[in-house]
Amino acid sequence: MSETVTKVPPKQSSSLKELVKAWVRFLALVAVLPILISFRLSAAVVGRNRALESSTQLLSLFPGITGQYLRRAFLQRALAKCHHSALVEFGTLFSQAGAILEENVYVGPRCQLGLVYLERDVLLASGVQIPSGGKTHYYDDPDKPIREQGGERRVVTIGAGAWIGTGVIVLADVGKGTIVAAGAVVTKPLPENVIAAGIPAKVIRKRFEKSPESPMLGEVIPSSSAE
């Protein structure tokens, strides 16, 4: 009795795959060079943060994988740090050049980010807003317009592996592995590995406790990754 032999197609070489990705990243860098030059010239006149806002407004308009590569090529050279595996979707704006995006960070569509530190494996769903803390504008002087009263900026840290749901506003730090339900407003720091929801956001339970119900978070599907 003869044996049946099944031919297995050869796997694509990982080195070839990485070579292709490197080549695409190079092409993306070439494509954004005019924007980078404009950014650096503008930064010398109006400052890095103002220049960053204008540049990211333009780059936010490119859809799909093409946009992901273009935005990353720019942000790697404009922000304090943007890891080459970070993925930023359509419509997202940055206002502070001191922002940091670590390894495997996913930023969904139409987010607005200030002075943030997104640790590795953080997921932001669509429409998340993270300004530079909760005191960017003072308003205690009745004799001055709010726009003239100044304010303060601080780094808002989202801990490794945290998941921030659709439309969340984050004004304080979020601990590692924590999940924040859609539509919440984080006004005080949240601990690690909890689930929080509401306005203001409050801890519902620890993340690894069994519960029949879970808050709605909003969809995060980084399927078309441009690594």
- CATH fourth-level superfamily of 14-206: Hexapeptide repeat proteins (2.160.10.10)
Q: Work out the average pLDDT over 9-34.
A: 82
Q: Which residues contact 39 (CB under 8 A, 6 or more apart)?
A: 51, 52, 54, 55, 74, 78
Using the predicted structure, report yes or no on whether residue 62 has a pLDDT greater than 70.
Answer: yes
What confidence score (pLDDT) does residue 143 get?
A: 78
Residue spans of the domains in the chain: they are 14-206
- Phi-psi group of 78: left, alpha or beta (phi > 0 → left; psi -120 to 50 → alpha; rest → beta): alpha
Q: Work out the average pLDDT over 56-64.
A: 96
More confident residue, 148 or 175: 175
d(CA 138, CA 157): 22
Q: Please state, in angstroms and as integers, the Cα–Cα distance from residue 33 to each residue in 52, 87, 130, following that order.
A: 14, 19, 28
* Lateral strand order in the sheet of 81-82: 81-82, 100-101, 116-118, 156-158
Confidence of residue 159 (pLDDT cuts 50, 70, 90): very high
Using the predicted structure, report yes or no on whether residue 5 has a pLDDT greater than 70.
Answer: no
pTM of the model: 0.82
Q: Which residues contact 179 (CB under 8 A, 6 or more apart)?
A: 162, 163, 165, 194, 195, 196, 207, 217
Q: Which residues contact 101 (CB under 8 A, 6 or more apart)?
A: 75, 79, 81, 82, 83, 86, 88, 107, 118
Average pLDDT, the chain: 88
Structural contact between residues 83 and 99, judged by C-beta atoms closer than 8 angstroms: no
Tell the residue number behind the tokens 């807003």, with chain if given: 129
Using the predicted structure, report yes or no on whether residue 152 has a pLDDT greater than 90.
Answer: no
Confidence of residue 22 (pLDDT cuts 50, 70, 90): confident
Tell the residue number behind the tokens 């992901």, with chain if given: 68
Structural contact between residues 131 and 147, judged by C-beta atoms closer than 8 angstroms: no
**pLDDT tens digits, 171-208:** 999 999 999 999 999 999 999 999 999 999 999 999 88
